[in-house]
Structure 1
Amino acid sequence: MKNWAETTVIVRFWIINGIFVVLGLGLFYADWVLFGN
């Protein structure tokens, strides 16, 4: 990891964050669809 450029680390961090955001929103939406209303 020491050989990575700083921008590479930041970009991968944002990509991983984006994946977790999508998963979280998906779980929230699935919960609303299944148990809402």
Structure 2
Amino acid sequence: KKGWKGYLEDRRPNSAADPYKVAARIIKTVKGVEI
């Protein structure tokens, strides 16, 4: 326990989202951008 600094915490975003819905939303957003 001499070199113990605490817990390593995982701070990644929650992966509960449906990847297909996320991808569809990104595509919809990008397609709506006027250049």
Task: Tell me the TM-score normalized by structure 1.
Answer: 0.47
More helix by share: 1
Task: Tell me the TM-score normalized by structure 2.
Answer: 0.49
